[in-house]
Amino acid sequence: MVLVKGTLLFAGVLAVLSIWLMGRATNIWQLTILTGTTWFLSGMGVALVNILVGLFAEKTERGKIFGILSLFY
């Protein structure tokens, strides 16, 4: 459980750094690599949030909570 939360925090910090570096990119190849990195880290964050919701939500409320989360993704 702690590993999932730590990985989520790590991915979030790296995603913010990647987005900041996208603003500093001077070549198209830099922008391409940073965009791919940002998408990868954001996807990792979404997957980890879904894992945490699946672990912490009650069985009777999982469908409602995943439905609410799907509105934001």
pLDDT digits (tens, 9 = 90+) for 1-42: 788 889 999 999 999 999 999 999 999 999 999 999 999 999
Q: What is the pLDDT of residue 33?
A: 97
H or E element, residue 32: helix 28-56
- Per the CB < 8 A criterion, the answer to whether 26 and 42 are in contact is no
Residue in 73, 14, 34 with CA at minimum distance from that of residue 6? 14
E strand or H helix that includes residue 3 = helix 2-24
For position 72, what pLDDT does the model report? 84
What confidence score (pLDDT) does residue 15 get?
96
pLDDT at residue 73 tops 80: no
Distance CA 60, CA 38 (A): 34
Domain boundary assignment for the chain: 2-72
Contact yes or no for 14/41 (Cβ under 8 A) = yes
Q: What's the confidence (pLDDT) of residue 1?
A: 76
* Entry pTM: 0.81
